[in-house]
Structure 1
Amino acid sequence: MYFAISAKLRDAGHDITVIERDPPGATYGWGVVYWDDLLDALYRNDRESAQRIRAASSLWQEQIVTMRGTEAAYLGGYGYSVNRAPMLEILSERARSLGVKVEHERAVEELSEVADADLVVVADGANSKIRQHHHEEFGTETTQGGNPYIWLGTDHVFDMFTFDFEETPQGWVWCHAYPSSSGISTFIVECQEKTWRALGLDRLGSDESMRLLEEIFARTLRGGSLISQSRGKPASWQRFTQVYNQTWRYGNAVLIGDAAHTTHFTIGSGTRLAMIDAIMLAQMLFEYDSPTKALKEFDEQGHSALRTAQAAARTSMAWFENLDYYTDRNAVEFCYAMAGRHGGQPPWQYQWHLIAQNTAVRKVLRLLSTGRRFYLARRRGEPLRR
């Protein structure tokens, strides 16, 4: 959808049809997180949809890491989160206003079904059927992560990005939680395979699983409930699919987003990278007269730009899969290890981390972050919001 917007803005003469397998407004999952770098890119590319996405987003400030419900540590910074459903609605309305045709409830699983198209942009996710049919041509490699996880919602509203690590007799279970829309937060639960099976989560039904998880995270939820139903069906446990393709192009088809590449949800970059793909591909098609040349440049530059993010994502996933190595530490030291999971940190960084746990210092850092946020918002011409 965002590629269609981006391509139409560059050349209104394009005849673009978005084929969507789901009904209007339907989307899996809850919220997605992003930061100022994506907002900057969205404002440069299409101010109209960027303003609406930001208006539909929630702001979270600071990150808190709790262990056993009794210990806490903090990390600075801020970010934004937006629920998938309103984001999809914004993009759909914007695309239609630019003359893009949108066909819902039509699944395409083979390129021959759209043989009359000059260009086919394949954005059907990590389990892309089209990519699977042509895995040899794309050079597809997929691997499964070790930790089971489940993507839930909750009616408890968080104001910080929250990591809560709870120790049960069967092992550690943790959540990644953040606000995603008014009155609703995203709540991702993760644990190791052995813990998942020992708790019976591989056998329990949806209602029983929710009750067990509400019990485990009772202190974090503070009386709130977990929400499993999304699109009329309960959420299911998954294992993260790592997708790598040697090339993103085959004939007149090109992969973008999760169909082309995935990054583990613990670095919060999936949506950002997909939208950057859309902008880059639209720009390449605008700059080059030959679509073949445009796809070649997109493929090469995209792979090059993605290496760092994918390496960080693999490292982050591995850190959480080996969590037991770090759980004998107190919350402050554990939090520091988690923050440094992408690579080495200079020796002074730990001392600064200790200082930043002080309440007065945290207040100052929060004020500085607010000032930076207002500056960046003003620079991109965004209406100021709290």
Structure 2
Amino acid sequence: MKIVCIGAGPAGLYFAISAKLRDAGHEITVVERDPPGATYGWGVVYWDDLLDALYINDRESAQRVRAASTVWQEQVVAIHGQRAYLNGYGYSVNRATLLDVLAQRATDLGVDVQYERTAEDLAEFDDADLVVVADGANSRTRQRMADEFGTQLDQGDNPYLWLGTTRMFDKFTFGFEQTPQGWVWFHAYPSAAGVSTFIVECQERTWRALGFDEFDDAATTRLLEEVFDEHLAGHALISSARGKPASWQRFTQVYNQTWRHDNAVLVGDAAHTTHFTIGSGTRLAMIDAVVLAEKLQEHEQLDHALKEYDGEGHAAMRVVQAAARTSMAWFENVDRYTDRNAVDFCYAMSSRSGLQPPWRYQAHRLAQNRAAREALRLSATGLRWWRARRRGESWKQAAATHP
């Protein structure tokens, strides 16, 4: 089969890898309008469920991704000069490194990855049996075919800015600071050696009152360093990622009534988005890639494969997108909860996706005790090692917490 993937993000590259592994005879080309290494943002987070799936699907690229990843344990919420904790762990990897790993693996398998090539019209791929549209939430290809896909776009209310910092956070950290103009907060986590991802968010009225709608890049960074001085501990914020300064965004919710039209199919953020506060975008993009490759292998007729991929994908996304919308709405109305102490605020944030059993609040309060937290950390570490060994990582790999 002759396949063209538009977009060299996690979805496009990992689909190319997954399809090639299932049928080396596929002729696959990935076209990307940006040059190699050009990517927005710093690090992405993921959990064991994705790593398990990657090891099953392609052990070699999974090992490279894991080797480049950092482990963080616990989440901490800082507000009113107090701190509260949530148990658990996760992984983070620099987005540029992730794309480098996937691009190299795809190339090694015989995929033709072409950078700085713009896909202006699907007509230029008339000789392809399948066109995989993987060019992100702002997909130009999908925009040109919005009626065919039944595209619906909604924009979130809160402006956010994706930065880096030289401060190394060893926990997934949420920090909330009150200014005279309103609340400003960040989500931070390690993403590479010596660098952490630092996502700033606030409400629209606060953003304008602070002057961010008029400030240039330097003034924006300078003010944010002042607001978050205590959290940054003297470290700098970094705006420029591979030469391109960060810009304020508003999250775009993408929904499509169908992910397929003729021989074109949507994957990843081109098909659906989930708010960054639930940390699922990269996982969902790569799972899309695996599922689509599996359907192509299972069905001789392309139409049957795409129909099944579309139906199962929509069913799986309903719950996830509902949780993401709820999470986004919680942060858009965060000032309803900021009068609470850190422990109660942290509980409200952690339970934002739905009702919780009564015992969960008591367990949350118990987890603030240092001895209890230490026991929970040891338990989480044991669980992480067990899952790592189960998927076949060596003892050294399982114990590694930094690249």
TM range (shorter): over 0.9
Map Cα deviations across residues 81-112 of structure 1 (whole Å, 9 max, x no partner): 00011111111111111111111100113211
Equivalent residues in 2 for 1:177-216 (5 A)? Answer: 177-216=188-227
Describe the SS at the equivalent of 1:137. Answer: helix
Equivalent residues in 2 for 1:330-345 (5 A)? Answer: 330-345=341-356
Q: CA deviation at 1:178?
A: 0.2
What residue in structure 2 maps to residue 176 of structure 1? 187
Aligned partner letter, 1:16: I
What residue in structure 2 maps to residue 385 of structure 1? 399
Give ranges in structure 2 of 5+ residues lacking alignment. 1-12
What residue in structure 1 maps to residue 23 of structure 2? 11
Aligned-partner Cα distance in 2 for 1:130–1:120: 11
Is contact 1:110-1:129 (8 Å) kept?
no
| Residue of 223, 228, 247 corresponding to 2:258 | 247
Aligned partner letter, 2:191: S
Describe the SS at the equivalent of 1:234. Answer: coil
Instruction: Say if 2:283 is the partner of 1:269.
Output: no
What residue in structure 1 maps to residue 35 of structure 2? 23
Give ranges in structure 1 of 5+ residues lacking alignment. none
What residue in structure 1 maps to residue 6 of structure 2? none
Aligned-partner Cα distance in 2 for 1:301–1:142: 22
Aligned residues: 385
Instruction: Say if 2:333 is the partner of 1:319.
Output: no
Q: CA deviation at 1:28?
A: 1.2
What residue in structure 1 maps to residue 77 of structure 2? 65
Aligned-partner Cα distance in 2 for 1:208–1:178: 24
Map Cα deviations across residues 107-163 of structure 1 (whole Å, 9 max, x no partner): 113211222111000001111111111101100000000000000000110000000
Q: CA deviation at 1:337?
A: 0.2
Is contact 1:5-1:94 (8 Å) kept?
yes
Describe the SS at the equivalent of 1:233. Answer: coil
Map Cα deviations across residues 32-56 of structure 1 (whole Å, 9 max, x no partner): 0000000000000000000000000
Aligned-partner Cα distance in 1 for 2:366–2:318: 33
Is contact 1:281-1:295 (8 Å) kept?
yes
What residue in structure 1 maps to residue 5 of structure 2? none
What residue in structure 1 maps to residue 232 of structure 2? 221
Instruction: Say if 2:55 is the partner of 1:43.
Output: yes
Aligned-partner Cα distance in 1 for 2:353–2:43: 24
TM-score (norm 1): 0.99
Equivalent residues in 2 for 1:264-303 (5 A)? Answer: 264-303=275-314
| Residue of 67, 80, 86 corresponding to 1:55 | 67
Aligned partner letter, 1:314: R
What residue in structure 2 maps to residue 143 of structure 1? 154
TM-score (norm 2): 0.95
Aligned-partner Cα distance in 1 for 2:322–2:184: 25
Q: CA deviation at 1:232?
A: 1.3
Aligned-partner Cα distance in 2 for 1:115–1:158: 49
Is contact 1:163-1:174 (8 Å) kept?
yes
Aligned partner letter, 2:143: Q
Aligned-partner Cα distance in 2 for 1:19–1:244: 24
Aligned partner letter, 2:399: R
Q: CA deviation at 1:323?
A: 0.5
Aligned partner letter, 2:368: Q
Aligned partner letter, 1:250: H
Aligned-partner Cα distance in 1 for 2:330–2:67: 34
Instruction: Say if 2:364 is the partner of 1:353.
Output: yes
Aligned-partner Cα distance in 1 for 2:192–2:256: 34
Aligned-partner Cα distance in 2 for 1:98–1:124: 21
Instruction: Say if 2:317 is the partner of 1:306.
Output: yes
What residue in structure 1 maps to residue 3 of structure 2? none
Q: CA deviation at 1:22?
A: 1.2
What residue in structure 2 maps to residue 32 of structure 1? 44
- Superposition misfits of 4+ residues, deviation over 6 angstroms: none
What residue in structure 1 maps to residue 126 of structure 2? 115
Aligned-partner Cα distance in 2 for 1:206–1:349: 43
Aligned-partner Cα distance in 2 for 1:67–1:333: 11
What residue in structure 1 maps to residue 85 of structure 2? 74
Aligned-partner Cα distance in 2 for 1:265–1:184: 19
Describe the SS at the equivalent of 1:240. Answer: strand
Aligned partner letter, 2:350: A
Aligned partner letter, 1:6: S
Name the Cα RMSD after superposition: 0.7
Q: CA deviation at 1:233?
A: 2.0
Aligned partner letter, 1:21: R
Q: CA deviation at 1:353?
A: 0.5
Aligned-partner Cα distance in 2 for 1:193–1:203: 13
Map Cα deviations across residues 170-200 of structure 1 (whole Å, 9 max, x no partner): 0000000000011010000000000000000
Aligned-partner Cα distance in 2 for 1:298–1:284: 6
Aligned partner letter, 1:131: R
Aligned-partner Cα distance in 1 for 2:290–2:77: 35
Aligned partner letter, 1:291: L
